[in-house]
Structure 1
Amino acid sequence: MDLNFTADELKFRDDVRGFIAEKFDAEMRAAMARTRTGYIAKHLHIRWQKALNERGWAAPNWPKEHGGPGWTPTQRYIFEQEMGTAGAPIVVPFGPRMLAPVIMKFGTEAQKQKYLPDILAANVWWCQGYSEPGSGSDLASLQMKAEDKGDHFLCNGSKIWTSEAQHADLIFCLVRTAQTKKPQEGISFLLIDMKSPGVTVTPIVTIDEASPGMQEVNQVFFDDVKVPKENLVGELNQGWTCAKYLLEFERGNAYSGHLKRHLAHLKKIARAEMAGQQPLMQDPDFATKLAECEMQIMGMEMLELRVLGGTRSGQNLGAASSMLKTRGTELQQMVSELSAEAIGYYAAPYTALVEGQNEPGVGPDYADGAAARYLNMRKVTIYAGSNEIQRNIMSKLILGL
């Protein structure tokens, strides 16, 4: 395994850094400093993705024939590392990273021509309709129905924990189109216009949303929603195949760039004198926890590089996508826990999130929503398939259990 970058790869890294310095403007930086989810105002996400698209970098995982940059796995890794380290806005993943690969593999030519260009150009905003009340990790038990009415499907049911649905133009859904002995065999993959009559979005205000404009998740209701037959992706009752394929792209992320940035901020907190107390870094117990966290993040980076070495030689991600998701999300929680511990009282929501309400000696640079971020990070080991399920997948694929 060669972990050294070539001269061309180092030049590419410098190009990415130059792009970030030019396009990651002050408004975006301020918004990213306040977010605890990665989401910022919709117009800022769109501005960022359009800037990436102008450079040809909006969809690193797309093949060149569909508008992707044609990068090597190493270039994709460098790009994600630099974006994470800089704290740059995410490209909202539902369209470019999750739905687009499904359409490329299972969609018709008409669907590719209709949806892919608008996804790439950030002309549409998608959300994901998988989980339902009572059907989360056991996704095959979903009950939202799509009845065949000849020229259209009639959809009834609801989806829950739907991130950013309040901004979405369209939603891709798993729906029940048949009652079968094996529940996975009666599911289809459907694209639904969020402006269709009968679609209602209801916000779910979570405990971490202590600041206005921070609401993230929703429940989406479908009451006799008509969906054209041409919005079916793949074959009828074969949506489970699409769903499994999509989850490979949802799970196989690079985490270490973001983790290293948050670790650097945590170190800054630990070195600061707050309210006249000695820096927390001088506490041997906390210093030990911080050192362990840093070693774990270094190990995560090595795992990512090992996976990168495999993909360079054409290996499929396979169980590695579950490994990355499991370790990456656990480390996200570890950093958020240590940050809340380091700030202590000043991490309290409803004070630390609001500029001007911090006590002397602890400005927004330190008390920057650590409690909200800690609370929000509770979910990361659950979504995209809980980490318990990821361990089952790894056991099956690696150990044959």
Structure 2
Amino acid sequence: MSRFLIACGGTGGHLAPGIAVAEELEARGHSSCLLISTKQIDSRLCEKYERFEFRRMPGAGFSAHPLRFARFVAGQAKALTFARRTVREVRPDLVLGFGGFTTAAVALAARGAGVPVAVHEANRVPGRAVRFAASMARRVYLPPGVQRSGIGPAALRHVGMPVRREFVRVARARACAQFGLDPERKVLLVLGGSQGAGALNEWARGSVAAFAAEGVQTVCVTGPGHSQREDAESAGAGGRTVRSVFLPFCDDMASLLSCATLVVSRAGAGTIAELIRMRVPALLVPYPHAADNHQEANARFFEQQGGGFTVAQEFLGDLTREAIEVLGNDWLLAQFAGNLQRLDRNDPLAYIADDLERLVREPSKSDVAPALVP
């Protein structure tokens, strides 16, 4: 049995794949300690995984603003001290980082202790932490087709985002009943990522009546800053009412995605991976202030692969009309779903777990990349 230290805190897009890998490693007889942030979203996501060891790591994300940059530097100093102590206590066989401010300090601490490092980047533009940690990593997992200078073929593996095994479609009638929805009607699901998205929340509220007039139900996950579920009914065609639901958080995304006919969402890599796994077409609205504009790159790749369309936030005024057009085109929805099924032929989770086991078991023989299914 091997022991892994997984740095995955800060956002759902970092934490969810960390949990996915920990679950897979646990099923293979290994143990993991997961380093997370002190953010509310981390605490909420961890609630259903009590069997894992979580340690909350100090630190703050990068910012160019002078005051926040000073906070970032101070936080990284604390994080490095914390990471060094944790590596000594946990004594991992390997450290795996998923980006974010938890990764850089742990990679440094691991290298200083002679522990091999692996890093995973799901976004199509690698973030600062991964770019930094890649220079000291035995293994760097990047999305298919993404290259990075300075990473040799011995270290580089092209693989997608590991998704938790719980993401399996359930019967739509049962899923809709769970959220108080009519399974005979289409559902538009609006997601803003683990932090929520104010612009999408506002758009969803302003568009409920237009979708109800078309017989389409609206569900919006508003983000953890909103404390209560809100249910409402709007007038639909023929005098029938159509339901809308606003949720602050959902800890059963597999069921919620099983309800959805179409998703409107930000373009984080984690959300896109879950859309692909669940075969749900989407209109992606990249967050315009994302670091290195990585959400734009994610969304364009998703569009090029035929999973849906990209809509710039500056054109939110056109989004309602476009969503209604897509929802009314069953042929197009079926084409999108088929393309998403094609994108999900590989199993990144098994691939990564296999590779991590090889790194630990046979470090001198682990530099030849096994092939993915074409």
* TM-score, length basis structure 2: 0.27
The structure with the larger Rg is 1
Instruction: Return the structure number with greater strand share.
Output: 2
* TM-score, length basis structure 1: 0.26
